[in-house]
Amino acid sequence: MVERHLAKVNVARSNRVARFCKTESERVEWKGGSCSVLTLAGLCAMAITIHHFKQWKQDGRPIVALTAWDCLLAKVLDEAGVDLILVGDSLAMVALGYDTTLPITLDEMLHHTKAVCRGVTKALVVCDLPFLSYQESPQQALSVAGQVLKETQAKAVKLEGGYPAMAETVQFLTQRGIPVMGHVGLTPQSVHQFGGYRKQGKDPDSAERILEEAIALESAGAFAVVLEHIPADLAATITHKLKIPTIGIGAGSNCDGQVLVTADLLGLSDWQPPFAKPYANLRQSVADAVQGFSQEVRSHKF
Ligand code: KIV
């Protein structure tokens, strides 16, 4: 209602609005001097909400997602125009030095999510629920997801697994107003059950199971689903079947969006999965900078 009313406002009267619209061309649609509802979503808070995701799927607009674990990095990603910033529990390994994602606690996730949210004005921030903070029961998941939304500025949570237990939990959360992103395929919190970080869905039975899980998550109200380390043709089939967007990682290019662990994207990690593609070599750049600094300090040049 408010949006509809605002949509009729002639934005030409506001230079500030006009400036904003120019820089937000993807979200802006000029209609004879008035701006569209989508523009207003941007104007009201400049924030991406879960409702953009379904629309983007319909429009065939790919979704860009990356992980973050602190405010500085989140700010850079947000300013670079990333759509979704995931405070993934991969930060356990990437930023905290744990061997797997299993040991990270809810308090640690809350701490990092708060920091990330302080750096973000526009991207949708999603917080991973850590291992055993939601698997016990839908009630446990509700209490933990509620705490995440109350104590941080995250707008949604992500949890791993699908049908039947997790789909029931996702439904329990979404029916109570908590947006949820699903995650199927290689779900790292189950690493010991998988016997390693192995590609999933390679045989017909497990491919069928993953497809069913994704469908169940959509029926349960998830607004998007991560497909991790599964064959590209399976990811394409799931993407075709679902109305909600699929966000792939190691699942081929036929998903509605892609997510990477940002340390892998930047070439910072000391180990990265085979499907991760580095777009920079920051590990080398940092080492070079540190060596340059060390030399100048040791030679009294700086
Ligand atoms: O924890 C994480 O970073 C994730 C992504 C790999 C999707 O779950």
Mutational pocket test of ligand 1: of 108, 228, 258, 269, the residue with most ligand atoms within 8 Å of the beta carbon: 228
The per-residue pLDDT for range 148-176, each reduced to its tens digit, is: 999 999 999 999 998 888 999 999 999 99
Is residue 264 in contact with ligand 1, taking CB distance under 6 Å?
no
1 or 78, which is more confident? 78
**Confidence tier at 87 by pLDDT (50, 70, 90):** very high
Alpha-carbon gap, residue 66 to 12, rounded angstroms: 35
Q: 235-254: per-residue pLDDT in tens?
A: 999 999 999 999 999 999 99
For residue 188, the CA-to-ligand 1 centroid distance in Å is 8
Q: Quick check: CB of 260 below 6 Å from ligand 1?
A: no
Percentage of residues of the chain with pLDDT beyond 70: 85
74 strand-pairing partners: none
pLDDT (average), residues 102-108: 98
Q: How is 48-64 classified by DSSP, letter by letter?
A: --HHHHHHHHHHT--EE
Ligand 1 in reach of 28 Cβ (< 6 A) = no
Per residue in 186-217, pLDDT tens? 999 999 999 999 999 999 999 999 999 999 99
Q: What pLDDT, on the 0 to 100 scale, is given for residue 163?
A: 83
Q: Does the C-beta of 129 come closer than 6 Å to ligand 1?
A: no
Mean pLDDT of the chain: 89
- Ligand 1 lined by 251 (C-beta under 6 Å): no
- Residue 134 CA to residue 166 CA, distance in Å, equals 9
Which one-letter DSSP state was computed for residue 159? -
User: What's residue 22's pLDDT?
Assistant: 35
- Is the model's pLDDT at 141 over the cut of 80? yes
- Residue 122 clears pLDDT 80, i.e. is over it: yes
Say yes or no to pLDDT of 33 above 70: no
Which CATH fold topology does 49-289 show?
Answer: TIM Barrel (3.20.20)
**pLDDT over 90, % of the chain:** 82
In the predicted structure, residue 44 carries a pLDDT above the cut 80: no
What pLDDT sits at residue 46? 78
- Which tokens go with 169? 């939990």
The answer to whether the beta carbons of residues 78 and 253 sit under 8 Å apart is: no
Confidence of residue 4 (pLDDT cuts 50, 70, 90): very low
Flag whether pLDDT at 40 surpasses 80. Answer: no
**Among protein residues, the one whose CA lies closest to atom 6 of ligand 1:** 261
Residue 14 pLDDT exceeds 50: no
Say whether 228 is catalytic: yes
Domain ranges in the chain are 1-46, 49-289
Ligand 1 atom 2, closest CA:
88
Confidence of residue 271 (pLDDT cuts 50, 70, 90): confident
11 or 144, higher pLDDT: 144
Query: How many residues comprise the chain?
Result: 302
Supply the residue whose CA is at minimum distance from atom 4 of ligand 1. 88
pLDDT of residue 38: 45
Ligand 1 center to 128 CA (angstroms): 8
pLDDT of 13 reads: 33
Ligand 1, atom nearest to 260 Cα:
6
First to last CA, the chain: 61
Closest atom of ligand 1 to 67 CA is 3
CB of 169 shorter than 6 A to ligand 1: no
Tokens standing for residue 248 = 């792939």
